[in-house]
Homo-oligomer: A and B are copies of this chain.
Amino acid sequence: MTGTIVERVAAAVDADRLSRRHEALAAIGGLQPSGLSREAYTEADFEARRLVVSWAEARGYLAFIDPIGNMFFRRADDDRPEPPLVIGSHIDSQPAGGPYDGQFGVLAAWETVEALEDAGAEMRVPLEVAIWANEEGSRFQPTTMGSAVFAGRLPLEEALGSRDTQGRTVGQELSRLRPALSGVADRPLGFPIAAFLEAHIEQGPILERHGTPIGVVTSIQGLRWFTVEVTGSTGHAGTTPVADRRDAFVAATEMAAALRELMDDPGDTVRFTIGRFEVRPNAPNTIPGSVLFTIDFRHPDQEVLRRLGDQVEPICRARAGGCEVVVRETLDAPPTALDPAISRAISQAATALGIAQEEITSGATHDAKYLAMVCPTGMVFVPCRNGISHSVLEHVEPEQMTLGTRVLAGATARLLTDAQR
């Protein structure tokens, strides 16, 4: 073999294998004609994990699972005590999402393992692949649950007690599904990590608009989540005068309108979304007695997050009318700067491979946000069509996945073999 280790590893990335594995993994929970439904802690989630375990076994890697369901993979014969370099992402999806968000990062990490080994890279520290549990947070809140628990930012017991709309807890679902991973060993929560790298789709329109195949992520914007519970009184739709009503739907939608006004931003930087909205009893001829809705609010600037986010509860109270309202903040994640040294390694790998790149801020949150609290962390973005994700229309060209994987593999090789880091 000739060339630098970065070039040799990048050349060992097998685009066909990546494509085949993408299709096999996308079939688990796959929707027709496109899209993916593979929410966290479901049979599909665990079937997808089993497929990754089969790739690991074929390479002589052992699989581990921690108490919140994060999985790790490591060479069976590598028992060096040094903290490992970890690469990976997540495998769960939105209820009607796409097969790239998360899945691409897991595939890129596995392809990196294969390429590093095939290129004969000598690894300065152990290498591990991670699958972070419940990144999406659609079924069980909050989002990025597995990495938050790993980083000690969310108590394990609280996460295990999180309930879906059917009343089932994370703990119950983990106990139920754990036997599906019979060959996987238990590992305690948390361990030192030398560095973490995650490849992901951008989930926004910037790289595509600029025609740039690689984004080197410098920061992740901040995020605050709220749950608002509005309680009024049910009543007969045909007989109850407006003067006697305590209509939870009317109150909740007036709160939503006032919050939208608060979050109005001519620069279009504020991200404000009411994504979940549930009415009870939800019958056409009954006045709604209660509404539960969620708020997802993001901004790159911590001061804006504080100022606008702190007005959510007062505004809901002011618009409650005759209803009662309880506002709970379920997540408060400040903007996160990623590690400049890791970003430099990514950038240098792309440069060495002749692949165009630009620096980018992540609009979406990622497990990398919590990893950045415990180790040097970096992210590689690839463009997705029309910036769409969290949608069955989510799409990434195979060539873009290959380029992103080559840069991840190159950067990992650089970090693993470069004594200067």
A279 touches B282 (CB 8 A): no
Contacts of A138 in B (CB 8 A): 281, 283-286
Is residue A221 within 8 Å, beta carbon to beta carbon, of the partner chain? yes
Contacts of A274 in B (CB 8 A): 249, 288
Q: How far is the CB of A190 from chain B (nearest CB, A)?
A: 25
Query: A253-B257, A285-B136, A287-B273 are known contacts. Are A237 and B298 too (CB-CB below 8 A)?
Result: yes
B364 touches A283 (CB 8 A): no
A294 touches B284 (CB 8 A): yes
B286 touches A236 (CB 8 A): no
B387 touches A239 (CB 8 A): yes
B276 touches A284 (CB 8 A): yes
A237 touches B296 (CB 8 A): yes
Q: How far is the CB of A304 from chain B (nearest CB, A)?
A: 15
How many chain A residues touch B (CB < 8 A): the figure is 69
Contacting B at CB under 8 A, from A128-159, are: 136-138, 141, 143
A266-280 vs B, Cβ < 8 Å mask (1 yes, 0 no) = 001001011111111
Is residue A91 within 8 Å, beta carbon to beta carbon, of the partner chain? no
Q: Which residue of B lies closest to A284 (CB)?
A: B294
Copies in the complex: 2
Pick the most buried of A141, A202, A240, A274: most chain B CB atoms within 10 A of its CB: A240
A285 touches B143 (CB 8 A): yes
Please pick, from B257, B288, B296, B391, the residue contacting A275 in the complex, using a CB distance under 8 A.
B288
Contacts of A279 in B (CB 8 A): 275-278
Contacts of A241 in B (CB 8 A): 205, 268
Contacting B at CB under 8 A, from A333-384, are: 363-365
Contacts of A288 in B (CB 8 A): 274-275, 277
Is residue A61 within 8 Å, beta carbon to beta carbon, of the partner chain? no
B271 touches A282 (CB 8 A): no
Please pick, from B204, B276, B363, B392, the residue contacting A283 in the complex, using a CB distance under 8 A.
B276
A388 touches B257 (CB 8 A): no
A289 touches B96 (CB 8 A): yes
A239 touches B203 (CB 8 A): yes
Is residue A225 within 8 Å, beta carbon to beta carbon, of the partner chain? yes
Given contacts A143-B285, A250-B260, 18 further A-B contacts (CB under 8 A): A95-B282, A96-B280, A96-B281, A96-B289, A138-B281, A138-B285, A225-B284, A234-B391, A237-B271, A237-B273, A237-B275, A237-B390, A238-B271, A239-B389, A254-B257, A273-B287, A277-B279, A278-B279
| 23 A-B contact pairs sorted by A residue (CB < 8 Å) | A94-B281, A94-B285, A95-B281, A137-B284, A137-B285, A138-B286, A141-B284, A143-B284, A204-B240, A221-B238, A234-B392, A235-B389, A235-B391, A237-B296, A238-B364, A238-B365, A240-B387, A249-B256, A275-B283, A275-B286, A276-B284, A277-B288, A278-B279
